[in-house]
Protein backbone atom coordinates (compact mmCIF):
# COMPACT_ATOMS: atom_id res chain seq x y z
CA UNK A 1 0.00 0.00 0.00
CA UNK A 2 1.31 3.41 -0.96
CA UNK A 3 0.87 6.50 1.22
CA UNK A 4 -1.65 9.13 0.21
CA UNK A 5 -0.15 12.37 -1.06
CA UNK A 6 -2.50 15.22 -0.16
CA UNK A 7 -2.94 17.80 -2.90
CA UNK A 8 -3.62 21.27 -1.53
CA UNK A 9 -4.58 23.67 -4.28
CA UNK A 10 -3.93 27.36 -3.66
CA UNK A 11 -4.89 28.76 -7.09
CA UNK A 12 -7.68 30.80 -5.47
CA UNK A 13 -5.33 32.28 -2.86
CA UNK A 14 -1.64 32.35 -3.86
CA UNK A 15 -2.63 32.17 -7.55
CA UNK A 16 -4.80 35.21 -7.04
CA UNK A 17 -1.73 37.10 -5.77
CA UNK A 18 -0.35 37.18 -9.35
CA UNK A 19 -0.57 40.68 -10.86
CA UNK A 20 -4.11 41.38 -12.02
CA UNK A 21 -5.33 37.82 -11.35
CA UNK A 22 -7.91 38.83 -8.78
CA UNK A 23 -11.13 36.85 -9.18
CA UNK A 24 -14.75 37.61 -8.40
CA UNK A 25 -16.80 35.46 -6.07
CA UNK A 26 -18.58 33.72 -8.94
CA UNK A 27 -15.31 33.07 -10.76
CA UNK A 28 -13.86 31.50 -7.61
CA UNK A 29 -16.91 29.30 -7.25
CA UNK A 30 -16.57 28.12 -10.87
CA UNK A 31 -12.91 27.25 -10.37
CA UNK A 32 -13.64 25.60 -7.02
CA UNK A 33 -16.25 23.36 -8.69
CA UNK A 34 -13.70 22.36 -11.33
CA UNK A 35 -11.11 21.61 -8.61
CA UNK A 36 -13.68 19.50 -6.80
CA UNK A 37 -14.26 17.50 -9.99
CA UNK A 38 -10.48 17.10 -10.22
CA UNK A 39 -10.75 15.65 -6.67
CA UNK A 40 -8.15 17.87 -5.04
CA UNK A 41 -8.09 17.21 -1.30
CA UNK A 42 -7.98 20.81 -0.10
CA UNK A 43 -9.01 24.03 -1.82
CA UNK A 44 -7.51 27.17 -0.32
CA UNK A 45 -10.25 29.59 -1.30
CA UNK A 46 -8.68 32.87 -0.22
CA UNK A 47 -7.69 35.17 2.61
CA UNK A 48 -10.99 36.19 4.24
CA UNK A 49 -9.49 39.11 6.17
CA UNK A 50 -8.29 40.74 2.92
CA UNK A 51 -11.60 42.44 2.13
CA UNK A 52 -15.36 41.99 2.28
CA UNK A 53 -15.18 40.57 -1.26
CA UNK A 54 -12.64 37.93 -0.27
CA UNK A 55 -14.68 36.99 2.77
CA UNK A 56 -17.79 36.54 0.62
CA UNK A 57 -15.84 34.49 -1.94
CA UNK A 58 -14.46 32.09 0.68
CA UNK A 59 -17.94 31.81 2.19
CA UNK A 60 -19.48 31.02 -1.21
CA UNK A 61 -16.84 28.37 -1.98
CA UNK A 62 -17.33 26.87 1.50
CA UNK A 63 -21.08 26.60 0.89
CA UNK A 64 -20.68 25.12 -2.59
CA UNK A 65 -17.93 22.53 -2.30
CA UNK A 66 -18.92 19.22 -0.71
CA UNK A 67 -16.14 16.75 -1.48
CA UNK A 68 -12.96 18.73 -0.84
CA UNK A 69 -11.89 20.48 2.36
CA UNK A 70 -12.19 24.26 2.04
CA UNK A 71 -9.41 26.28 3.61
CA UNK A 72 -9.01 29.96 4.50
CA UNK A 73 -5.68 31.69 5.09
CA UNK A 74 -5.04 33.91 8.10
CA UNK A 75 -2.06 35.67 9.58
CA UNK A 76 -1.31 34.77 13.19
CA UNK A 77 -3.72 37.45 14.37
CA UNK A 78 -6.96 36.99 16.30
CA UNK A 79 -9.01 39.08 13.86
CA UNK A 80 -7.78 37.18 10.80
CA UNK A 81 -8.49 33.84 12.42
CA UNK A 82 -11.97 34.90 13.45
CA UNK A 83 -12.71 36.08 9.91
CA UNK A 84 -11.49 32.79 8.48
CA UNK A 85 -13.54 30.82 11.03
CA UNK A 86 -16.67 32.84 10.17
CA UNK A 87 -16.20 32.53 6.41
CA UNK A 88 -15.78 28.76 6.65
CA UNK A 89 -18.83 28.12 8.84
CA UNK A 90 -20.91 26.65 6.01
CA UNK A 91 -18.25 24.18 4.85
CA UNK A 92 -18.75 20.44 5.01
CA UNK A 93 -15.05 20.18 5.98
CA UNK A 94 -12.98 23.25 6.81
CA UNK A 95 -9.35 24.07 7.51
CA UNK A 96 -7.78 27.23 8.89
CA UNK A 97 -4.27 27.89 7.61
CA UNK A 98 -2.38 30.31 9.81
CA UNK A 99 1.17 31.51 9.26
CA UNK A 100 3.96 33.68 10.58
CA UNK A 101 7.44 34.34 9.22
CA UNK A 102 10.36 32.51 10.80
CA UNK A 103 13.48 33.60 8.88
CA UNK A 104 15.82 36.09 10.58
CA UNK A 105 15.32 38.67 7.82
CA UNK A 106 11.50 38.46 7.96
CA UNK A 107 11.37 38.47 11.78
CA UNK A 108 13.71 41.47 12.08
CA UNK A 109 12.73 43.57 9.06
CA UNK A 110 9.05 42.72 8.47
CA UNK A 111 7.63 41.64 11.81
CA UNK A 112 10.10 43.50 14.03
CA UNK A 113 9.70 40.71 16.57
CA UNK A 114 12.04 38.59 18.67
CA UNK A 115 12.00 34.84 17.88
CA UNK A 116 10.35 34.07 21.25
CA UNK A 117 7.49 36.44 20.43
CA UNK A 118 7.05 34.76 17.05
CA UNK A 119 6.63 31.39 18.80
CA UNK A 120 4.08 32.95 21.17
CA UNK A 121 2.05 34.36 18.26
CA UNK A 122 2.15 31.06 16.39
CA UNK A 123 0.97 29.02 19.39
CA UNK A 124 -1.78 31.49 20.23
CA UNK A 125 -2.96 31.53 16.58
CA UNK A 126 -3.14 27.75 16.35
CA UNK A 127 -5.07 27.50 19.63
CA UNK A 128 -7.53 30.14 18.48
CA UNK A 129 -8.00 28.45 15.10
CA UNK A 130 -8.72 25.17 16.90
CA UNK A 131 -11.79 26.83 18.43
CA UNK A 132 -13.27 26.84 14.91
CA UNK A 133 -12.05 23.56 13.46
CA UNK A 134 -9.98 20.47 14.32
CA UNK A 135 -8.11 20.86 11.04
CA UNK A 136 -5.46 23.54 11.53
CA UNK A 137 -2.41 24.08 9.36
CA UNK A 138 0.57 26.15 10.43
CA UNK A 139 3.08 27.63 7.96
CA UNK A 140 6.53 28.90 8.86
CA UNK A 141 6.78 31.59 6.19
CA UNK A 142 10.21 31.79 4.53
CA UNK A 143 11.16 28.44 6.09
CA UNK A 144 13.58 27.98 3.17
CA UNK A 145 15.78 30.70 4.71
CA UNK A 146 15.03 29.97 8.38
CA UNK A 147 17.35 28.53 10.99
CA UNK A 148 16.65 24.80 11.36
CA UNK A 149 16.98 24.80 15.16
CA UNK A 150 14.40 27.58 15.38
CA UNK A 151 12.09 25.75 12.97
CA UNK A 152 12.28 22.66 15.20
CA UNK A 153 11.28 24.70 18.25
CA UNK A 154 8.35 26.54 16.68
CA UNK A 155 7.01 23.47 14.89
CA UNK A 156 7.14 21.34 18.04
CA UNK A 157 5.24 24.09 19.89
CA UNK A 158 2.50 24.42 17.27
CA UNK A 159 1.94 20.66 17.14
CA UNK A 160 1.45 20.73 20.92
CA UNK A 161 -0.99 23.62 20.41
CA UNK A 162 -3.09 21.54 18.00
CA UNK A 163 -1.76 21.99 14.44
CA UNK A 164 -2.14 18.80 12.42
CA UNK A 165 -0.39 20.00 9.24
CA UNK A 166 2.99 21.73 9.24
CA UNK A 167 3.78 23.59 6.08
CA UNK A 168 7.38 24.36 5.13
CA UNK A 169 7.24 27.08 2.46
CA UNK A 170 10.10 28.06 0.23
CA UNK A 171 8.50 31.50 0.07
CA UNK A 172 11.10 33.19 -2.10
CA UNK A 173 12.00 30.19 -4.28
CA UNK A 174 15.59 30.09 -2.99
CA UNK A 175 16.03 26.40 -2.15
CA UNK A 176 17.58 23.68 -4.29
CA UNK A 177 16.12 20.17 -4.37
CA UNK A 178 18.81 18.19 -2.48
CA UNK A 179 18.97 20.76 0.31
CA UNK A 180 15.19 21.21 0.57
CA UNK A 181 14.57 17.45 0.70
CA UNK A 182 17.26 17.08 3.37
CA UNK A 183 15.61 19.82 5.48
CA UNK A 184 12.28 17.97 5.41
CA UNK A 185 13.91 14.69 6.41
CA UNK A 186 15.86 16.36 9.18
CA UNK A 187 12.84 18.24 10.60
CA UNK A 188 10.77 15.05 10.62
CA UNK A 189 13.53 13.25 12.43
CA UNK A 190 14.44 15.96 14.96
CA UNK A 191 11.00 17.21 16.07
CA UNK A 192 9.95 14.91 18.92
CA UNK A 193 6.18 15.04 18.18
CA UNK A 194 6.59 15.04 14.36
CA UNK A 195 4.54 11.85 14.05
CA UNK A 196 1.43 13.78 15.16
CA UNK A 197 1.42 15.99 12.05
CA UNK A 198 1.60 15.81 8.29
CA UNK A 199 4.51 17.64 6.70
CA UNK A 200 3.61 19.84 3.77
CA UNK A 201 5.58 21.95 1.31
CA UNK A 202 4.76 25.12 -0.58
CA UNK A 203 7.41 26.05 -3.13
CA UNK A 204 7.76 29.17 -5.25
CA UNK A 205 9.32 29.11 -8.67
CA UNK A 206 11.73 32.05 -8.65
CA UNK A 207 14.62 29.83 -9.80
CA UNK A 208 12.40 27.44 -11.77
CA UNK A 209 12.74 24.72 -9.10
CA UNK A 210 9.34 24.75 -7.40
CA UNK A 211 8.23 21.37 -8.76
CA UNK A 212 11.68 19.77 -8.27
CA UNK A 213 11.83 21.04 -4.68
CA UNK A 214 8.31 19.77 -3.97
CA UNK A 215 9.11 16.32 -5.37
CA UNK A 216 12.37 16.14 -3.44
CA UNK A 217 10.40 16.94 -0.28
CA UNK A 218 7.94 14.14 -1.10
CA UNK A 219 10.83 11.71 -1.52
CA UNK A 220 11.97 12.74 1.96
CA UNK A 221 8.65 12.29 3.75
CA UNK A 222 6.39 15.27 2.96
CA UNK A 223 2.82 14.06 2.42
CA UNK A 224 1.11 17.26 1.34
CA UNK A 225 2.08 19.45 -1.61
CA UNK A 226 0.69 22.95 -2.04
CA UNK A 227 0.44 23.90 -5.68
CA UNK A 228 -1.59 25.81 -8.25
CA UNK A 229 -3.14 25.16 -11.63
CA UNK A 230 -0.75 26.30 -14.41
CA UNK A 231 1.80 27.21 -11.70
CA UNK A 232 0.00 30.52 -11.16
CA UNK A 233 1.10 32.48 -8.09
CA UNK A 234 3.03 35.32 -6.53
CA UNK A 235 5.96 36.51 -8.77
CA UNK A 236 7.24 33.49 -10.77
CA UNK A 237 4.40 31.39 -9.39
CA UNK A 238 4.01 28.25 -7.31
CA UNK A 239 4.70 24.59 -8.02
CA UNK A 240 2.40 23.59 -10.85
CA UNK A 241 -0.28 21.11 -9.75
CA UNK A 242 -0.38 19.30 -13.09
CA UNK A 243 3.37 18.76 -13.12
CA UNK A 244 3.55 17.49 -9.53
CA UNK A 245 0.56 15.19 -9.96
CA UNK A 246 1.65 13.75 -13.31
CA UNK A 247 5.23 13.25 -12.09
CA UNK A 248 3.94 11.21 -9.14
CA UNK A 249 1.63 9.21 -11.42
CA UNK A 250 4.04 8.66 -14.30
CA UNK A 251 7.04 7.88 -12.08
CA UNK A 252 5.12 5.72 -9.60
CA UNK A 253 8.26 3.55 -9.49
CA UNK A 254 10.14 6.41 -7.81
CA UNK A 255 7.55 7.60 -5.28
CA UNK A 256 6.13 5.74 -2.35
CA UNK A 257 2.83 7.62 -2.50
CA UNK A 258 -0.08 8.41 -4.82
CA UNK A 259 -2.68 11.13 -5.21
CA UNK A 260 -6.42 10.56 -5.46
CA UNK A 261 -6.90 13.01 -8.35
CA UNK A 262 -8.94 12.40 -11.47
CA UNK A 263 -6.20 13.58 -13.80
CA UNK A 264 -8.58 13.62 -16.80
CA UNK A 265 -9.96 16.88 -15.38
CA UNK A 266 -6.56 18.63 -15.46
CA UNK A 267 -6.90 20.28 -18.86
CA UNK A 268 -10.38 21.66 -18.15
CA UNK A 269 -9.06 23.24 -14.94
CA UNK A 270 -6.07 24.66 -16.76
CA UNK A 271 -8.19 26.28 -19.47
CA UNK A 272 -10.71 27.61 -16.99
CA UNK A 273 -8.05 29.22 -14.80
CA UNK A 274 -6.34 30.71 -17.84
CA UNK A 275 -9.56 32.11 -19.25
CA UNK A 276 -10.65 33.63 -15.92
CA UNK A 277 -7.33 35.15 -14.90
CA UNK A 278 -6.10 36.14 -18.36
CA UNK A 279 -2.80 34.31 -17.85
CA UNK A 280 -2.21 32.34 -21.06
CA UNK A 281 -0.50 28.95 -20.96
CA UNK A 282 2.73 28.86 -22.95
CA UNK A 283 2.57 26.29 -25.81
CA UNK A 284 5.55 24.31 -24.50
CA UNK A 285 4.27 24.15 -20.91
CA UNK A 286 4.48 20.60 -19.56
CA UNK A 287 1.17 18.65 -19.48
CA UNK A 288 -1.21 21.49 -20.42
CA UNK A 289 0.67 23.42 -23.14
CA UNK A 290 -0.74 23.13 -26.67
CA UNK A 291 2.47 21.37 -27.81
CA UNK A 292 2.83 19.08 -24.79
CA UNK A 293 1.64 16.08 -26.80
CA UNK A 294 2.34 17.32 -30.34
CA UNK A 295 5.03 15.43 -32.20
CA UNK A 296 6.43 17.82 -34.77
CA UNK A 297 9.50 16.14 -36.20
CA UNK A 298 9.11 13.34 -38.75
CA UNK A 299 11.32 10.98 -36.73
CA UNK A 300 9.19 11.39 -33.61
CA UNK A 301 5.95 10.96 -35.55
CA UNK A 302 7.23 7.79 -37.13
CA UNK A 303 8.24 6.45 -33.71
CA UNK A 304 4.89 7.33 -32.14
CA UNK A 305 2.97 5.72 -34.99
CA UNK A 306 4.93 2.47 -34.59
CA UNK A 307 4.59 2.46 -30.81
CA UNK A 308 3.46 5.50 -28.84
CA UNK A 309 5.77 4.69 -25.94
CA UNK A 310 8.85 5.43 -28.08
CA UNK A 311 8.36 9.13 -27.40
CA UNK A 312 5.27 9.43 -25.17
CA UNK A 313 5.61 8.86 -21.44
CA UNK A 314 1.99 9.80 -20.68
CA UNK A 315 -1.27 9.44 -22.56
CA UNK A 316 -2.80 12.73 -23.70
CA UNK A 317 -6.27 11.47 -22.76
CA UNK A 318 -5.14 10.86 -19.14
CA UNK A 319 -4.88 14.61 -18.63
CA UNK A 320 -8.02 15.43 -20.60
CA UNK A 321 -6.77 16.23 -24.09
CA UNK A 322 -9.18 13.86 -25.81
CA UNK A 323 -12.10 15.62 -24.15
CA UNK A 324 -11.36 18.73 -26.21
CA UNK A 325 -14.20 17.97 -28.59
CA UNK A 326 -16.77 20.00 -30.46
CA UNK A 327 -19.75 20.22 -28.16
CA UNK A 328 -22.31 22.47 -29.76
CA UNK A 329 -23.09 24.06 -33.10
CA UNK A 330 -25.40 26.45 -34.90
CA UNK A 331 -28.37 24.10 -34.59
CA UNK A 332 -28.01 23.30 -30.91
CA UNK A 333 -31.03 24.26 -28.86
CA UNK A 334 -31.41 26.10 -25.58
CA UNK A 335 -31.56 22.92 -23.50
CA UNK A 336 -28.37 21.47 -24.96
CA UNK A 337 -26.68 24.82 -24.39
CA UNK A 338 -27.95 25.13 -20.82
CA UNK A 339 -26.98 21.60 -19.86
CA UNK A 340 -23.44 21.93 -21.26
CA UNK A 341 -23.02 25.23 -19.39
CA UNK A 342 -24.15 23.48 -16.20
CA UNK A 343 -21.64 20.70 -16.80
CA UNK A 344 -18.97 23.39 -17.08
CA UNK A 345 -19.96 24.61 -13.62
CA UNK A 346 -22.02 27.65 -14.62
CA UNK A 347 -25.46 28.26 -13.18
CA UNK A 348 -27.95 30.72 -14.60
CA UNK A 349 -29.65 32.63 -11.81
CA UNK A 350 -32.48 34.05 -13.94
CA UNK A 351 -34.27 33.25 -17.17
CA UNK A 352 -33.04 36.49 -18.69
CA UNK A 353 -29.42 35.57 -17.90
CA UNK A 354 -29.95 32.32 -19.81
CA UNK A 355 -31.62 34.16 -22.70
CA UNK A 356 -28.79 36.66 -22.92
CA UNK A 357 -26.12 33.94 -22.87
CA UNK A 358 -28.01 31.85 -25.44
CA UNK A 359 -28.35 34.87 -27.73
CA UNK A 360 -24.58 35.44 -27.55
CA UNK A 361 -24.00 31.75 -28.21
CA UNK A 362 -26.16 31.92 -31.36
CA UNK A 363 -24.28 35.02 -32.53
CA UNK A 364 -20.99 33.18 -32.06
CA UNK A 365 -22.30 30.03 -33.75
CA UNK A 366 -23.21 32.12 -36.80
CA UNK A 367 -19.60 33.25 -37.13
CA UNK A 368 -17.92 30.01 -36.09
CA UNK A 369 -19.79 26.78 -36.72
CA UNK A 370 -17.84 24.54 -34.30
CA UNK A 371 -18.21 25.64 -30.69
CA UNK A 372 -15.80 24.09 -28.17
CA UNK A 373 -15.83 24.10 -24.38
CA UNK A 374 -13.18 26.82 -24.43
CA UNK A 375 -15.50 29.07 -26.45
CA UNK A 376 -18.24 28.51 -23.89
CA UNK A 377 -15.84 29.31 -21.04
CA UNK A 378 -14.97 32.62 -22.72
CA UNK A 379 -18.67 33.32 -23.21
CA UNK A 380 -19.36 32.65 -19.53
CA UNK A 381 -16.58 35.03 -18.50
CA UNK A 382 -18.17 37.72 -20.67
CA UNK A 383 -21.75 37.11 -19.51
CA UNK A 384 -20.81 37.12 -15.81
CA UNK A 385 -18.73 40.29 -16.15
CA UNK A 386 -21.43 42.12 -18.10
CA UNK A 387 -24.02 42.00 -15.36
CA UNK A 388 -22.38 44.69 -13.19
CA UNK A 389 -20.59 46.69 -15.85
CA UNK A 390 -20.13 50.44 -15.66
CA UNK A 391 -18.76 50.66 -19.23
CA UNK A 392 -20.26 48.69 -22.11
CA UNK A 393 -19.01 48.45 -25.67
CA UNK A 394 -21.86 49.33 -28.04
CA UNK A 395 -20.23 49.68 -31.46
CA UNK A 396 -16.83 49.68 -33.09
CA UNK A 397 -15.93 50.76 -36.60
CA UNK A 398 -12.39 50.49 -37.87
CA UNK A 399 -10.83 51.57 -41.12
CA UNK A 400 -7.49 49.91 -41.85
CA UNK A 401 -5.85 50.04 -45.25
CA UNK A 402 -2.28 49.57 -46.50
CA UNK A 403 -0.44 52.88 -46.70
CA UNK A 404 -3.13 54.74 -44.69
CA UNK A 405 -3.32 55.62 -40.99
CA UNK A 406 -5.82 53.32 -39.27
CA UNK A 407 -8.86 55.04 -37.77
CA UNK A 408 -11.43 53.87 -35.26
CA UNK A 409 -14.76 55.13 -34.07
CA UNK A 410 -16.11 53.60 -30.86
CA UNK A 411 -19.40 53.97 -29.02
CA UNK A 412 -19.38 53.12 -25.32
CA UNK A 413 -22.20 53.17 -22.84
CA UNK A 414 -20.94 54.98 -19.74
CA UNK A 415 -23.42 54.76 -16.89
CA UNK A 416 -26.34 54.55 -19.36
CA UNK A 417 -25.09 57.42 -21.61
CA UNK A 418 -23.94 56.51 -25.08
CA UNK A 419 -20.75 58.36 -26.02
CA UNK A 420 -18.73 58.13 -29.22
CA UNK A 421 -15.01 58.80 -29.67
CA UNK A 422 -12.70 58.74 -32.70
CA UNK A 423 -8.96 58.23 -32.90
CA UNK A 424 -6.15 57.24 -35.20
CA UNK A 425 -3.36 54.85 -34.24
CA UNK A 426 -0.42 52.83 -35.43
CA UNK A 427 -2.75 49.90 -36.08
CA UNK A 428 -6.42 48.99 -35.81
CA UNK A 429 -6.08 47.87 -32.17
CA UNK A 430 -4.11 50.96 -31.17
CA UNK A 431 -6.68 53.26 -32.82
CA UNK A 432 -9.60 51.44 -31.13
CA UNK A 433 -8.10 51.58 -27.64
CA UNK A 434 -7.23 55.27 -28.11
CA UNK A 435 -10.81 55.96 -29.22
CA UNK A 436 -12.11 54.28 -26.04
CA UNK A 437 -9.62 56.22 -23.94
CA UNK A 438 -10.77 59.48 -25.58
CA UNK A 439 -14.22 58.76 -24.10
CA UNK A 440 -13.38 57.38 -20.67
CA UNK A 441 -10.12 59.31 -20.00
CA UNK A 442 -9.02 56.75 -17.40
CA UNK A 443 -5.32 57.67 -17.52
CA UNK A 444 -4.55 54.01 -16.70
CA UNK A 445 -1.17 52.63 -17.78
CA UNK A 446 -1.22 49.69 -20.19
CA UNK A 447 1.13 47.08 -18.70
CA UNK A 448 0.39 44.11 -20.92
CA UNK A 449 -1.36 43.30 -24.16
CA UNK A 450 -1.52 39.68 -25.28
CA UNK A 451 -3.52 37.78 -27.91
CA UNK A 452 -4.02 34.03 -28.03
CA UNK A 453 -6.30 31.82 -30.05
CA UNK A 454 -8.83 29.95 -27.93
CA UNK A 455 -9.14 27.06 -30.36
CA UNK A 456 -7.56 26.26 -33.72
CA UNK A 457 -8.44 27.61 -37.17
CA UNK A 458 -8.64 31.08 -38.68
CA UNK A 459 -12.28 31.35 -37.56
CA UNK A 460 -11.19 30.76 -33.94
CA UNK A 461 -11.90 33.34 -31.29
CA UNK A 462 -8.97 35.52 -30.29
CA UNK A 463 -8.57 35.76 -26.54
CA UNK A 464 -7.10 39.11 -25.55
CA UNK A 465 -5.71 40.03 -22.14
CA UNK A 466 -5.07 43.65 -21.27
CA UNK A 467 -3.40 44.58 -17.99
CA UNK A 468 -4.00 48.12 -16.73
CA UNK A 469 -2.45 49.80 -13.71
CA UNK A 470 -3.79 52.82 -11.92
CA UNK A 471 -3.37 54.23 -8.41
CA UNK A 472 -1.43 51.19 -7.19
CA UNK A 473 -4.01 48.72 -8.52
CA UNK A 474 -3.36 46.23 -11.31
CA UNK A 475 -6.18 44.47 -13.18
CA UNK A 476 -6.43 42.09 -16.11
CA UNK A 477 -9.26 42.63 -18.60
CA UNK A 478 -10.32 39.82 -20.91
CA UNK A 479 -12.09 39.85 -24.23
CA UNK A 480 -12.89 37.13 -26.76
CA UNK A 481 -14.19 37.48 -30.30
CA UNK A 482 -13.60 36.03 -33.74
CA UNK A 483 -12.36 39.54 -34.63
CA UNK A 484 -9.28 40.38 -32.56
CA UNK A 485 -9.82 44.14 -32.81
CA UNK A 486 -13.25 43.68 -31.20
CA UNK A 487 -11.72 41.25 -28.66
CA UNK A 488 -9.13 43.92 -27.80
CA UNK A 489 -11.78 46.60 -27.32
CA UNK A 490 -13.78 44.21 -25.10
CA UNK A 491 -10.65 43.41 -23.06
CA UNK A 492 -9.89 47.11 -22.57
CA UNK A 493 -13.46 47.79 -21.44
CA UNK A 494 -13.34 44.77 -19.12
CA UNK A 495 -10.13 46.08 -17.50
CA UNK A 496 -11.68 49.55 -17.09
CA UNK A 497 -14.69 47.98 -15.39
CA UNK A 498 -12.43 46.13 -12.98
CA UNK A 499 -10.62 49.38 -12.15
CA UNK A 500 -14.00 50.88 -11.28
CA UNK A 501 -14.27 48.45 -8.36
CA UNK A 502 -12.43 50.50 -5.74
CA UNK A 503 -12.47 47.83 -3.01
CA UNK A 504 -9.19 47.74 -1.09
CA UNK A 505 -7.71 44.34 -0.47
CA UNK A 506 -5.00 43.43 2.04
CA UNK A 507 -2.10 41.26 0.93
CA UNK A 508 -1.50 38.54 3.55
CA UNK A 509 2.28 38.61 3.32
CA UNK A 510 2.89 42.35 3.37
Please give the residue ranges that form the binding site for ligand KIV (CB under 6 A): 14, 99, 139, 141, 167, 169, 171, 202, 204, 508-509
The binder of 139, among Zn ion, ligand KIV, none, by C-beta within 5 to 8 A per type, is: ligand KIV
2 secondary structure, DSSP code: P
Q: Which is nearer to ligand KIV, 162 or 169 (CB)?
A: 169
Does 302 carry a binding-site annotation? no
The binder of 28, among ligand KIV, Zn ion, none, by C-beta within 5 to 8 A per type, is: none
Q: Which residues lie below 8 Å from residue 389, measured CB to CB, with a gap of 6+?
A: 493, 497
Does 262 carry a binding-site annotation? no
Q: Is the dihedral of CA 57, 60, 65, 70 positive or negative?
A: positive
The binder of 237, among ligand KIV, Zn ion, none, by C-beta within 5 to 8 A per type, is: none
Could you tell me the smallest distance in angstroms from the CB atom of residue 427 to ligand KIV? 40
* Separation CA 326–CA 460 (nearest Å): 13
Does 202 carry a binding-site annotation? yes
Could you tell me the smallest distance in angstroms from the CB atom of residue 168 to Zn ion? 12
Which H or E run includes 418? Answer: strand 417-424
The binder of 137, among ligand KIV, Zn ion, none, by C-beta within 5 to 8 A per type, is: none
Q: Which is nearer to Zn ion, 236 or 354 (CB)?
A: 236
Q: Which residues lie below 8 Å from residue 221, measured CB to CB, with a gap of 6+?
A: 184, 185, 188, 199
Contact predicate 394/418, CB 8 Å? yes
Q: Is 73 helix (H, G, I), strand (E, B) or coil?
A: strand
| Furthest-apart CA atoms within the chain: distance in Å | 77
Q: Which is nearer to ligand KIV, 13 or 498 (CB)?
A: 13
Q: Which is nearer to Zn ion, 14 or 481 (CB)?
A: 14
Could you tell me the smallest distance in angstroms from the CB atom of residue 329 to ligand KIV? 44
Instruction: Burial-class residue 77 by CB neighbours within 10 Å (0-12, 13-18, 19+).
Output: middle
The binder of 99, among ligand KIV, Zn ion, none, by C-beta within 5 to 8 A per type, is: ligand KIV
Q: Which is nearer to Zn ion, 64 or 228 (CB)?
A: 228
Closest Cα to residue 475, out of 281, 277, 280?
277
Could you tell me the smallest distance in angstroms from the CB atom of residue 508 to ligand KIV? 6
Which H or E run includes 275? Answer: helix 266-277
Q: Which is nearer to Zn ion, 14 or 16 (CB)?
A: 14
* Separation CA 447–CA 469 (nearest Å): 7
Which H or E run includes 363? Answer: helix 351-367
Q: Is 252 helix (H, G, I), strand (E, B) or coil?
A: coil
Could you tell me the smallest distance in angstroms from the CB atom of residue 204 to Zn ion? 6
The binder of 106, among ligand KIV, Zn ion, none, by C-beta within 5 to 8 A per type, is: none
Q: Which is nearer to ligand KIV, 204 or 271 (CB)?
A: 204
* Separation CA 478–CA 496 (nearest Å): 11
Sheet holding 462-470, edge to edge: 445-453, 462-470, 473-481
Could you tell me the smallest distance in angstroms from the CB atom of residue 330 to ligand KIV? 46
Could you tell me the smallest distance in angstroms from the CB atom of residue 202 to Zn ion? 6
The binder of 463, among ligand KIV, Zn ion, none, by C-beta within 5 to 8 A per type, is: none
Torsion of Cα atoms, 344 then 348 then 352 then 356, to 10°: -20
Residue number closest to Zn ion, CB atom: 14
Residues that bind Zn ion in the complex, under the rule CB under 5 A = 14
Does 507 carry a binding-site annotation? no
Q: How many CB atoms lie within 10 A of CB 351?
A: 8
Binding residues for Mn(2+): 14, 202, 204, 238
Amino acid sequence: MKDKLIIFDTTLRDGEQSPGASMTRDEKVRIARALERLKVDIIEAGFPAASEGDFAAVQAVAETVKNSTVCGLSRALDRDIDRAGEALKGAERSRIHTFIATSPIHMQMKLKMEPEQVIEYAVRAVKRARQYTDDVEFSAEDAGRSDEDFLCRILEAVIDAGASTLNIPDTVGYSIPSEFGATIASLMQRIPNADKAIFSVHCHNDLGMAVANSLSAVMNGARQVECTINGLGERAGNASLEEVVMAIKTRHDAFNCETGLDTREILTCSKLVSSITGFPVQPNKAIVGANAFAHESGIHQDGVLKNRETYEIMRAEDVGWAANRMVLGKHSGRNAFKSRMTELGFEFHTESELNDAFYRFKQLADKKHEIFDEDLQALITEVSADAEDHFKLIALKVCSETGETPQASVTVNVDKNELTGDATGSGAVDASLKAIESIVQSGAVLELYSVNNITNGTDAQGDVTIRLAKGGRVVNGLGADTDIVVASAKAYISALNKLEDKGVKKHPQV
